[in-house]
Structure 1
Amino acid sequence: MRITIAHNNNAETLKVVAHLKNALEVKEGVVFDAKYPDVVITVGGDGTLINAFHRYENQISSIRFIGIHTGHLGFYTDWQAQDVDKMVDALFLREPESAKYPLLEVELVTEANEKKHYLALNESAVKRISHTLEANVYIDGQLFENFRGDGLCISTPTGSTAYNKSLGGAVIHPRLKALQMAEIASINNRVFRTLSSPIVIAPDQWITIVPNSAHFVMTVDGSKLDLHNAKKINYRISNKEIRFDRFGHTHFWSRVQSAFIGGKDDFI
């Protein structure tokens, strides 16, 4: 089994990484391979896991992820630091079985009709920093609305609990291969009208954003791209998926309840 460990450099994280390496080294058949791993174990938080995802996104179909969180609660990270030995034992005692989550495919088309492709685990947003964004929004190639406001956010089901949720979007179970678009501070008056509500589209549909501005910003999982003279951006559910080892993978609604509502002891 080829394994690599991705981590941040916090003091607590480095202690966990050292313990994890020792626990793995005594297991027969373990090869540490950062180039072509079978399993990527992340130690840190969701940011660490998202960074690891993008590092290996070209190999995503052959990799399984396991997340150990240190510090703040991680939505993608199932295991706690004190459970490292239990996680390692489970990894070698069971046959690989994965929970699969859909990803977002982003296709940027330039004015010269060049196409650039990106993959997102959480979301992609289109914004203007100091001015209002104006853009035509198409669904399946048909004009849906003319948007004016701070921006638009397109998210995956797992990403629905991230930036999308702060925009008032719905939380969607990851078994539903659906895209969600949420508006960021839209302007609605007698001149400019939008639906002014998040929308969820089917897995065989796609969203196209055609900006009316020569310069705007596109983010992919928080990474910012300054774009000039982009023609359009197409969003659809990717045919690729991210896989998490199921043996310690928390039930989705338990994750949501734990992350945003809290345990029973938190209720009065």
Structure 2
Amino acid sequence: MGLRIGIIHNKEEKSIRVLQRLRVLLADKDDLEIVEHDPELVITIGGDGTLLSAFHRYSHRLDEVRFLGVHTGHLGFYTDWRDYELPELVKSLSNEPGKSVSYPLLDVVLTTTDGEPKHFLALNESTIRKGSRTMVADVFIKEELFERFRGDGLAISTPTGSTAYNKSVGGAVVHPSINAMQLSEIASLNNRVFRTLGSPSIIGSHEWIDVRLKSNEQHLITIDQLDINRKGITSIKYKIADERIHFASYRHMHFWHRVKDAFIRED
């Protein structure tokens, strides 16, 4: 049996064409097999959102599966191959050993007033908001009260997620070799009465963050693409997960090259 490959794609017309070409190329290789279940390698066709969907689909098999992204739009942070490079990609899959590079993930535990804690994994980030009203929460770091936060919300990101929403609220860009998470404030309220740190914080893998909400009113929690909008959320606990995501490194683009292409380089 050859390398077992699963393919996930978005519904864009260009992605469908790429899917069809990729299937033809893979069919010519005896050592590569397209499967519907239990793949060893998952190829995504689309953008970062498509890869995020694939990650959550296979989050229960992270020790057994690697991911590889083909982007059909703008350059993504999780997609190493362009749509016109399919022959080179298939050749690499057939001829090169299956090496991988791994990135940290965020472990999220959501506790409510009426149920058991719910556990999630995030590849990019999680945010906490209270709609159009000021959110009030006690932020604990490793069981010690750090601050009482008042403002629009909080964002907790992985290193790879640091280039996403975290960056737009003034967070730092963190290299994924650093096994840490980042806590960034969203429009915090700071005056003579109320005070928060007011800057992003990098939290190491040996510590954790516990955000304890001071109101049972409705809050919106996002975990990557998942939205949880409900009342009765009491706390959200974050730490660096024991699990990691593994990307196939047949050709893996340098992180700072991705950052430059995404934010600095002009077309």
Same fold (TM over 0.5): yes
Instruction: Tell me which stretches of 4 or more aligned residues in structure 1 moved more than 6 Å.
Output: none
Q: Tell me how large the CA RMSD over aligned residues is.
A: 1.2
Answering whether residue 124 of structure 2 is matched by residue 122 of structure 1, we say yes
Partner of 1:232: 235
2:138 — aligned with what? 136
Partners of 2:12 and 2:118 in 1: CA distance: 35
Instruction: Indicate yes or no: 2:219 matched with 1:216.
Output: yes
Q: 5+ unaligned residues in a row in structure 2: which ranges? A: none
Q: Distance in 2 between matches of 1:176 and 1:72?
A: 26
Cα distance between partner residues in 2 of 1:237 and 1:193: 27
Task: Quote the Cα distance in structure 1 between the aligned partners of 2:146 and 2:78.
Answer: 33
- Residue equivalent to 2:38: 36
Instruction: Describe how 1:41-56 pairs up with structure 2 within 5 A.
Output: 41-56=43-58
Deviations 1:127-173 (A, max 9, x none): 01121111000000100000011100000000001010001100001
- 1:157-176 map, 5 Å: 157-176=159-178
Q: What's the TM-score once normalised by structure 2's chain length?
A: 0.96
Please give the residue correspondences for 1:1-268 in structure 2 after superposition, counting only pairs within 5 Å.
Answer: 1-112=3-114, 114-214=116-216, 215-262=218-265
Contact (CA 8 Å) 2:31, 2:94: kept in 1 or not? no
2:235 is matched by which residue type in structure 1?
A: K
Q: Scaled by the length of structure 1, what TM-score is found?
A: 0.96
1-side partners of 2:237 and 2:188: how far apart? Answer: 20
Letter matched to residue 255 of structure 2: F
Conservation of the 8 A alpha-carbon contact between 2:104 and 2:176: yes
CA displacement at 1:113 relative to structure 2: 6.3
**Equivalent residue pairs, number:** 264
Measure the CA separation in 2 of the matches of 1:15 and 1:184. Answer: 40
Q: Distance in 1 between the 2:207 and 2:115 partners?
A: 22
Alpha-carbon distance between aligned partners in 2 of 1:48 and 1:189, rounded to the nearest angstrom? 42
* Mapped contact 2:102–2:247 kept (Cα < 8 A): yes
Q: Give the AA of the match of 2:163.
A: T
Give % identity.
48
Deviations 1:169-221 (A, max 9, x none): 00001010011000001111122110000000111100000011212110001
* Distance in 2 of aligned mates of 1:99 and 1:261: 25
Amino acid at match of 1:255: R
Determine the C-alpha separation between the residues in 2 that align with 1:33 and 1:128: 43
Deviation for aligned residue 1:254: 0.8
Query: 3-state SS of the aligned residue for 1:208?
Result: strand
The amino acid of 2:246's aligned partner reads R
Following superposition, the deviation at residue 112 of structure 1 comes to: 4.6
8 Å contact kept, 2:114–2:232: no
